[in-house]
Amino acid sequence: MPLYLYNMPTYTKLAIAPETVRAAADIPNLYGLKDSSGDRGYFRAVQQAVSGKPEFALLAGVEEVLAELVGFGAHGGVCGGSNLEPELYVRIFDAAARGDRSAVEVLQKRILQISAGVYRVGEPGSSYLRGLKCAASLLGLCTTVMAEPYVPLSPAEQEQIRQNLTKIGLPS
């Protein structure tokens, strides 16, 4: 089964050292790393560590820096907002890959609107996941049911997400 490393120090309280990523890159069926640290220096250090392994995928997990990391050479990203507006994330990847800074700037503004309008509603620490789930449910993609220990946003917070989606032009 194909596997990816997942660097998410905010929740795990540790980062996978670049040297560890390099050593792990030799493991059969390990295809890459998703980095959700948002730390550009860390990403560049990992990129340097695996530079001899071009088939080892480096993926951005923080969509607010996706374009920048693609500009550095990231192979792609795993972005929550792509559940809400997948074409936007394809367009920003393509623009960043071809070095089209003006297109990236326009698209980045939209990603930041999604981030502010969806991921920052509710209690910090779980607002990203709970906001994304709420937005996806408002778009008819799923229900509001969440895996424990998470609970859906309050009715008032759900209404705020609905209003934010309307402001940014997503049908809710």
Tens of pLDDT along 93-149? 999 999 999 999 999 999 999 999 999 999 888 999 999 999 999 999 999 999 999
Instruction: Identify whether 163 is part of a domain.
Output: no
Instruction: Identify whether 87 is part of a domain.
Output: no
pLDDT, tens digit (0-9, with 9 covering 90-100), for 27-74: 999 999 999 999 999 999 999 999 999 999 999 999 999 999 999 999
Range of the domain at 63: 1-78
| Three-class SS state of 172 | coil
DSSP codes, 63-116: GGGHHHHHHHT--EE--GGGGT-HHHHHHHHHHHHTT-HHHHHHHHHHHHHHHH
Instruction: Identify whether 125 is part of a domain.
Output: no
Residues designated catalytic: 6, 34
Instruction: Identify whether 120 is part of a domain.
Output: no
Three-point CA angle 122, 88, 75, nearest 5°:
100
- pTM comes to 0.91
Instruction: Identify whether 64 is part of a domain.
Output: yes
Instruction: Identify whether 46 is part of a domain.
Output: yes
Query: In terms of Cα–Cα distance, which of 84, 87, 88 is closest to 138?
Result: 84
| Number of structural domains in the chain | 1
Instruction: Identify whether 84 is part of a domain.
Output: no
Instruction: Identify whether 104 is part of a domain.
Output: no
